[in-house]
């Protein structure tokens, strides 16, 4: 399956049905197909050969997302560029990933103009919404091209080349094949509820999880309602207006949703599946979401094994008697049916149930490797398994628990302390909105446990009382020796807390 196959499958179920919707305007499946034919012809005429890389730099926009299918139709490889990246990171991605064409929104024109002189491999620039001195407009680029069916063959199965999160070091290009996306799509369709023709609300960036979740929706002929930017009030309005059945939010936005004054009066009856993932979530706030929102559904994956390493459908959040399964909310769900997963020690040995080690996976969900980086590929695939970099364990019922990133484990007083365990305890406190736990050098403890907490709106955090709360829940060894209260936490472009930035701020303060 190529990206165009999901579009064409949806069109076969109703070509005039709405496919992409934003600001009250619909593009039908037929219109997106016709757009993809024209884009493919445009890329061909511009000298872009099958197998070459084409980047898209835009916020959430139906035409920009429609370009994904034109790239696929032309036999090209989609390079999604996060619109929140800085220019330096985008330049690295465009250069190291050998991008030959860039389709971009005019809001990024100053960035593109500044970068283009240092990108000799970039041959084609097209602005999606304006005519620029250095780039034709999308409409003029496509003006005389037919929208009759057109398609070129690919040179291999490489479909997508996203960059790794890039919170440390340079981003690596993750080679995702059509088979990877097909496996992810199959897992989505078999693992979560889908009744009737789905309606998916995309608030998060389409360059990440919100985008790849569109493909299973399109395979069922569903509608994708796209939001420009995060707006919780509009999010609630759109669910009711379009009878939204499926959506995805990271925990930070779920917390904002739970704190919104209009949540309890909103009409959420149409929801079948509200996905959450991309970062740890507070079990207490997840239980609140189950009571106030309804069908929450977890997914866990990473760029190298997209979305569905493990899954927890809405009904798995409850016990047989209908009560919330609190003991399960801290898990990342069960290992997916088409994925092999294990827990491995540092010598490459697989460990038994309950033992902690690195989470490793293999199967058709796992990437082909890192683009032009055989050393990183070999390191990530040691012992024949893909190494996630996450520490965790699998219980006797097959549920996966993530206890830390390998690089974030703290050794304090000779004990291994997993930061996620401390963070989960902190998030259980009613005054804490979000938090991060790191280890800092300490003469007495080797590393002391330091927590930085972000209060919930209108709440005040008493650090002494919070320390006592943590001690009662997980013991004195794991209780932070230092608790800082910040109004907000530094975050990456996709909303993940940036622990290196927290560490730098704290150590800079200590050094100053």
Above pLDDT 70, what percent of the chain?
98
Q: Which fold has domain 230-405?
A: Rossmann fold (3.40.50)
CB distance 100 to 124 below 8 Å = yes
Give the pLDDT score at 424.
87
CA pair distance 363, 485, nearest whole angstrom = 43
CA pair distance 236, 222, nearest whole angstrom = 19
Residue 512, pLDDT > 70, answer no
Give the pLDDT score at 407.
77
CB distance 55 to 81 below 8 Å = yes
**C-alpha closest to that of 332 among 310, 356, 307:** 310
Q: What's the mean per-residue pLDDT of the chain? A: 92
Residue 138, pLDDT > 50, answer yes
Residue 166, pLDDT > 70, answer no
Residue 147, pLDDT > 90, answer yes
Owner of token pair 């009066």: 265
Q: What is the mean pLDDT of residues 422-444?
A: 90
Q: Highest-confidence range of 44-58, 71-85, 421-435, by mean pLDDT?
A: 44-58
CA pair distance 285, 181, nearest whole angstrom = 31
**C-alpha closest to that of 58 among 95, 102, 19:** 102
Give the pLDDT score at 406.
72
CA pair distance 250, 492, nearest whole angstrom = 12
Question: Model confidence over 72-90: pLDDT tens digits?
Answer: 999 999 999 988 777 888 8
CB distance 402 to 300 below 8 Å = yes
> Is CATH 3.40.50.150 the right assignment for the domain spanning 409-511?
no
3-state DSSP assignment of residue 324? strand
Least confident of 7-16, 245-254, 364-373, 440-449: 440-449
Bigger pLDDT: 332 vs 407: 332
CA pair distance 438, 419, nearest whole angstrom = 7
Q: What is the mean pLDDT of residues 272-299?
A: 92
Give the pLDDT score at 244.
98
Give the pLDDT score at 511.
47
CA pair distance 259, 257, nearest whole angstrom = 5
Instruction: For residue 275, give both structure tokens.
Output: 């996905």
**C-alpha closest to that of 412 among 476, 474, 466:** 476
Per the DSSP assignment, residues forming a β-bridge with 27 are 20
Q: How, if at all, do strands 99-104 and 53-57 pair?
A: parallel
CB distance 64 to 107 below 8 Å = no
Least confident of 43-47, 50-54, 58-62, 163-167: 163-167
Residue 416, pLDDT > 80, answer no
Look at domain 29-177 and name its CATH class.
Answer: alpha beta
Give the pLDDT score at 143.
94
Alpha helix segments (H runs only) across 324-446 = 374-380, 419-427
Q: What is the mean pLDDT of residues 101-126?
A: 94
pLDDT band at 429; cut points 50, 70, 90: very high
Q: What is the mean pLDDT of residues 386-392?
A: 93
Question: Model confidence over 176-214: pLDDT tens digits?
Answer: 999 999 999 999 999 999 999 999 999 988 887 789 999
Give the pLDDT score at 412.
83
**C-alpha closest to that of 63 among 90, 30, 31, 94:** 31
Q: What is this structure's pTM? A: 0.85
**C-alpha closest to that of 348 among 339, 356, 340, 357:** 357
Residue 167, pLDDT > 70, answer no
Give the pLDDT score at 160.
96
Instruction: For residue 358, give both structure tokens.
Output: 């690195």
pLDDT band at 165; cut points 50, 70, 90: low
Backbone phi and psi for residue 158, each to the nearest 5 degrees, phi listed first: -65, 125
Give the pLDDT score at 169.
56
- Matching CATH topology for 230-405 and 409-511? no
Instruction: For residue 501, give both structure tokens.
Output: 């930035």
CA pair distance 129, 111, nearest whole angstrom = 16
Domain ranges of the chain: 29-177, 230-405, 409-511
* Distance in Å from the first CA to the final CA of the chain: 56
CB distance 307 to 301 below 8 Å = yes
CA pair distance 97, 188, nearest whole angstrom = 29
Give the pLDDT score at 21.
97
Q: What angle do CA 306, 41, 121 make, to 5 degrees?
A: 65
CB distance 221 to 29 below 8 Å = yes
Give the pLDDT score at 282.
83
């Amino acid at each position: 399956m190529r990206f165009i196959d999901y579009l064409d499958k949806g069109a076969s179920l109703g070509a005039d049905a709405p496919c992409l919707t934003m600001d009250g305007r619909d593009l039908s499946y037929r219109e997106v197909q016709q757009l993809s034919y024209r884009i493919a012809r445009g890329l061909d005429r511009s000298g872009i050969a099958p197998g070459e890389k084409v980047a898209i730099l835009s916020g959430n926009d139906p035409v920009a997302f429609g370009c994904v299918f034109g790239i696929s139709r032309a036999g090209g490889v989609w390079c999604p560029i996060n619109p929140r990246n800085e220019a330096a990171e985008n330049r690295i991605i465009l250069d190291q990933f050998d991008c030959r064409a860039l389709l971009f929104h005019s809001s990024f024109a100053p960035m593109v103009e500044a970068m283009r002189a240092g990108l000799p491999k970039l041959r084609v620039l097209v602005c999606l919404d304006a005519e620029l001195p250095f780039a034709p407009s999308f409409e003029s680029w496509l003006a005389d091209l037919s929208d009759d069916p057109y398609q070129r063959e690919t040179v291999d199965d490489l479909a997508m080349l996203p960059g790794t999160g890039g919170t440390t070091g340079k981003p690596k290009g993750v080679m995702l094949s059509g088979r990877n996306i097909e496996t992810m799509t199959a897992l989505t369709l078999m693992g979560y509820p889908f009744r009737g023709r789905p309606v998916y609300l995309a608030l998060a960036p389409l360059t990440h999880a919100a985008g790849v979740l569109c493909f299973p929706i399109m395979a069922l002929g569903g509608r994708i309602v796209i939001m420009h930017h995060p707006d919780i009030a509009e999010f609630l309005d759109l669910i009711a207006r379009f009878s939204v059945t499926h959506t995805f939010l990271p925990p930070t936005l779920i917390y904002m949703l739970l704190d919104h004054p209009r949540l309890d009066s909103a009409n959420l009856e149409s929801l079948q599946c509200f996905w959450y993932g991309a970062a740890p979530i507070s079990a207490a706030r997840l239980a609140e979401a189950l009571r106030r929102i309804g069908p929450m559904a977890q997914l866990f994956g990473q760029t190298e094994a997209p979305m569905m390493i493990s899954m927890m459908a809405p009904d798995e959040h409850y016990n047989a008697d209908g009560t919330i399964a609190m003991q399960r909310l801290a898990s990342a769900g069960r290992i997916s049916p088409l994925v092999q997963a294990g827990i491995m020690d540092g010598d490459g040995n697989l460990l038994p149930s309950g033992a902690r080690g690195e989470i490793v996976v293999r199967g058709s969900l796992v990437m082909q490797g890192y683009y032009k980086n055989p050393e990183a590929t070999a390191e990530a695939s040691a012992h024949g398994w893909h190494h996630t970099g996450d520490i965790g364990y699998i219980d006797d019922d097959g549920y996966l628990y993530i206890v830390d990133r390998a690089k974030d484990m703290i050794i304090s007083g000779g004990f291994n302390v997993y930061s996620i365990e401390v963070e989960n305890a902190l998030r259980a406190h009613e005054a804490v909105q979000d938090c991060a736990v790191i280890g800092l050098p300490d003469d007495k403890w080797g590393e002391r446990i330091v927590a930085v907490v972000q209060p919930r709106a209108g709440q005040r955090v008493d650090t002494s009382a919070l320390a006592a709360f943590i001690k009662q829940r997980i013991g004195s060894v794991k209780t932070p020796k230092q608790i800082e209260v910040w109004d907000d936490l530094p975050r990456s472009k996709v909303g993940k807390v940036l622990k290196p930035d927290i560490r730098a701020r704290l150590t800079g303060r200590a050094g100053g």
